[in-house]
Amino acid sequence: MEALPDGQLIEADDRLAMVFSHYYCIERPADAPPLRRHLMPNYEMLLVFNFGPEVPVKLGNHEYRIRRTAVLGPLQKTLTYDLPGGAELIIVNFTLNGFYRLMRVPMHEFRADDLHHPDLLLDKAGFGDLWTQLAESPNRSDRLNRISDYLQTSVAPIDEAACSLLDTIPYFRNPSLEPVKGVAGTHGLTARSVQQRFQIQLGFTAKEMVRFLRFKRVLAELGKPGPDAPVDWVQLVERFGYHDQPHLIRDFRYYVGLTPRRFLRQLAGGGVCVSPSGRFY
């Protein structure tokens, strides 16, 4: 997420870099007016701790309210959320198979527009107990240390075969390649097993990752600060390997539900958050 006036982005330390990319901490004054934000898709899982008023969120056509803890993702569509006055949240942005290693729940069982209670996923009160401990300590640094310690002791050890697979993200940056075949050949796996690893540990296919990583680079390019000049859409299409402009428009409609030009107007108006590139992609 981009750093906003109400929040702070804190990167994961080295010991947990393969589990999550960053914390996003939000605090708003009690008398602040409601504030609406839109988080662009990042194909990652979010774990939310809320210590303030309940926070309304919208995923696809579904509306929810986050009270204490919640899990969202893999975030394949725009997440809209309303921050009330007094909002106080810590959001853990997982990366790659970090959430799978923590929860041991097959990721393909998650729907992108669902919100879950983490304790129901684990069938125990671990996160509820953790929330209580965090709520008793209003110091942000202490809270983050407690969460990091919990993740460190709860996450499953790295599966060396899975790690090798996830280290092959560069295979998925070029849409003209067939990444599944490349990964399978390099690591002595079958194409079917590569696809299964993505579905179980990440919740989406390798083909979807190729498509999304390209779109993420487009968003990053459009979000760069610079002169207020018209976008050269033809050059953008050629640079990122789209067949034509309708091909690019389809991706915008698929991921953010907007045309490119409507997205630019929304971006210019503020309130749009794009997850930054992490250590892996």
**Residues 88-123: pLDDT tens digits?**
999 999 988 899 999 888 888 887 778 999 988 877
In sequence order, which ranges of the chain are alpha helices (DSSP H)?
A: 98-103, 118-122, 126-135, 140-154, 160-166, 179-187, 191-201, 206-222, 233-239, 245-256, 260-268
Grouping H, G, I as helix, E, B as strand and the rest as coil, residue 69 is strand
For 159, which DSSP code?
-
Residues in the chain: 281
- Of the chain, the percentage scoring pLDDT greater than 90 comes to 44
91: which 2 tokens? 């959001």
Question: Would the pLDDT of 280 be above 80?
Answer: no
Work out the burial of residue 254: count CB atoms within 10 Å of its CB; fewer than 13 is exposed, 13-18 middle, 19 or more buried.
Answer: middle
Backbone angles phi, psi at 65, to 5 degrees: -135, 125
Confidence of residue 7 (pLDDT cuts 50, 70, 90): confident
Structure confidence at residue 70 (pLDDT): 95
The pLDDT tens digits of the residues spanning 29-86 come to 999 999 999 999 888 999 999 999 999 999 888 999 999 999 998 898 889 999 999 9
Structure confidence at residue 105 (pLDDT): 87
In angstroms, the CA 65 to CA 48 distance is: 12
Q: In what order do the strands lie in the sheet with 79-83?
A: 62-66, 55-59, 79-83, 35-39, 272-273
Sign of CA dihedral 57, 59, 64, 69: negative
In angstroms, the CA 173 to CA 31 distance is: 45
Question: Would the pLDDT of 3 be above 70?
Answer: no
- In CATH, what class is 7-154? mainly beta
